[in-house]
């Protein structure tokens, strides 16, 4: 029934009315390789493996095969150590080659980005500075000598003195988790009344913080600096988030995509390797497609990506796959196969290859059907 419903986005993907992307042509690395030898932590069995740079490399395998042990707990701290960055000690390995081709290595995890309600999506990506500047340039603000700092809820001046700009107060429940309620003075607005009197296009700063990213992008039409920042949030599928939503209420996946938006906003000439662990968790088909476009944007400016995931939609778009297994725990910890998705699909002796072969065959048939209709 859902497949037959043309008004359903999910139905469109299930029925393959959407999601049929152009034929995939894997990129070939022109930036070299990172080679890790003798990885032996947890269930890894003296693994030697090479990771291509400048492409989308996806590390796959059944749950418990050793993917996170290899990438997050061995490769990432090893690279950071060679780059002189402080990082927790990783799992044992013998040697690492090729790090000189990198300037930076960043792990985009799903850890919370802040514990305070004062931290939110627009403060994290530095869009709030531009929004505050817009309000400070309003005629009423200039007349009353109200500056950018008055629109900050991180410093005294314009923020509510009772809740210190959080919009909420916490109640200590002793042996239970604290509960939060709207501030009785500002009623959740975060600011003093005189600050809320300043309007831009008929809205106060509190009204703007209540807008979703998508609504705010339209509202700030013509404010190119604000829109450029918000566009990054749209690109990573966070258009539904209210601008002022506390960072302490974001899910792990939302926090990870917010970090990705920040990475995309930073114009850097450095050669950066981004590592992500299961970024597709909880995402709709359409969100995964947006995520793939974000990956492409990072690759197009010369960065590299290593992604631990077993989402077929993402695996089909990979430039290079490293499959661990063949099983989980003691039955895993080995590199089973490497190569392009098409290369892996030819080896039907392990679970990843069988699933990938079926998915690629279906996609090939759909492309052939589509070409007949042209």
Residue among 209, 215, 193, 216 nearest 244 (CA): 209
Question: Where do we find the tokens 């995890």?
Answer: 109
Pair of tokens at residue 281: 């968790």
Beta strands in 290-343 (DSSP E): 304-308, 320-325, 334-339
Asked whether 186 and 160 are in contact (CB, 8 A), the reply is: yes
Whether the upstream peptide bond of residue 326 has omega within 30° of 0, thus cis, is yes
- CA separation for the pair 102, 67 (Å, rounded): 22
* Pairing assessment for the beta strands 33-39 and 47-52 based on DSSP bridges: antiparallel
- CA separation for the pair 39, 95 (Å, rounded): 9
SS3 275: strand
Asked whether 298 and 305 are in contact (CB, 8 A), the reply is: yes
Asked whether 244 and 120 are in contact (CB, 8 A), the reply is: yes
Pair of tokens at residue 318: 């990979």
Q: Distance of CA 268 to CAs 98, 122, 227, 263, 303, Å? A: 21, 20, 20, 9, 10
- CA separation for the pair 58, 318 (Å, rounded): 6
pLDDT at 268: 63
Looking at domain 121-247, what is its CATH homologous superfamily? ABC transporter ATPase  like domain (1.20.1580.10)
Q: Per-residue pLDDT tens for 281-299?
A: 878 888 888 888 889 988 9
Beta strands in 165-294 (DSSP E): 168-171, 179-182, 272-277
Asked whether 21 and 318 are in contact (CB, 8 A), the reply is: no
Q: 0.75 cut: is pTM over it?
A: yes
Give the strand order in the sheet containing 272-277: 104-108, 272-277, 304-308, 56-61, 320-325, 334-339
Per-residue pLDDT of the chain (374 residues; tens, 9 = 90+): 666 666 666 656 565 555 545 556 788 888 899 999 999 999 999 999 999 999 999 999 999 999 999 999 999 999 999 999 988 889 999 999 999 999 999 999 888 887 778 899 999 999 999 999 999 999 999 999 999 999 998 899 999 999 999 998 888 777 777 788 999 999 999 999 999 999 999 999 999 999 999 999 999 999 999 999 999 999 888 999 999 999 888 988 889 889 988 888 766 668 899 999 988 887 888 888 888 888 998 898 889 999 999 889 899 999 999 999 999 999 999 999 999 998 888 876 778 888 888 877 776 555 444 444 45
Q: CATH assignment of 9-112+250-373, given 3.40.30.10, 3.40.50.300, 3.40.50.620, 2.40.30.60?
A: 3.40.50.300
pLDDT at 15: 57
Domain residue ranges in the chain: 9-112+250-373, 121-247
Residue among 265, 267, 269 nearest 226 (CA): 265
DSSP bridge partners of 212: 242
* Residue 365 neighbours by CB under 8 Å, 6+ apart: none
Q: Environment class of residue 144 by beta-carbon count within 10 Å: exposed (0-12), middle (13-18) or buried (19+)?
A: middle
Pair of tokens at residue 118: 């004062």
């Amino acid at each position: 029934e859902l497949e037959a419903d043309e008004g359903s986005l999910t139905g469109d993907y299930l029925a393959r009315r959407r999601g049929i992307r152009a034929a995939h042509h894997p990129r070939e690395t022109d930036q070299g390789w990172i080679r890790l030898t003798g990885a032996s932590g947890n269930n890894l069995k003296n693994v030697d493996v090479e990771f291509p740079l400048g492409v989308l490399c996806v590390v796959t395998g059944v749950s418990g095969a050793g993917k996170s042990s290899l990438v997050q707990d061995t490769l990432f701290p090893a690279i950071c150590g060679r780059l002189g960055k402080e990082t927790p000690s990783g799992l044992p390995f013998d040697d690492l080659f090729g790090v000189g081709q990198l300037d930076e290595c960043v792990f985009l995890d799903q850890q919370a980005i802040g514990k305070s309600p004062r931290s939110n999506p627009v403060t994290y990506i530095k869009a709030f500075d531009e929004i505050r500047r817009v309000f400070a340039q309003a005629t009423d603000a200039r007349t009353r000598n109200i500056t950018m700092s008055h629109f900050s809820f991180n410093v005294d001046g314009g923020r509510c003195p009772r809740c210190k700009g959080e919009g909420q107060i916490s109640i200590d429940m002793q042996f239970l988790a604290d509960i939060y309620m709207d501030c009785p003075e500002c009623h959740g607005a975060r600011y003093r009344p005189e600050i809320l009197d300043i309007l831009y296009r008929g809205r106060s700063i509190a009204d703007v913080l209540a807008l979703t990213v998508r609504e705010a992008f339209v509202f700030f039409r013509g404010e190119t600096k604000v829109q450029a920042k918000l566009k990054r949030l749209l690109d990573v599928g966070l258009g539904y988030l209210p601008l002022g939503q506390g960072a302490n209420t974001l899910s792990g996946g939302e926090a990870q995509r917010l970090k990705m938006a920040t990475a995309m906003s930073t114009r850097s000439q450095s050669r950066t390797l981004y590592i992500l662990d299961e970024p597709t968790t909880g995402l709709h088909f359409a969100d995964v497609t947006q995520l793939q476009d974000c990956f492409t944007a990072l690759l197009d400016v010369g960065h590299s990506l290593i992604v631990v995931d077993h989402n077929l939609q993402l695996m089909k778009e990979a430039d290079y796959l490293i499959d661990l297994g063949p099983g989980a725990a003691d039955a895993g910890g080995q590199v089973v196969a490497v190569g392009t998705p098409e290369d892996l699909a030819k080896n039907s002796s392990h679970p990843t290859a069988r699933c990938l072969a079926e998915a690629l065959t279906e996609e090939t048939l759909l492309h052939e059907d589509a070409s007949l209709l042209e």
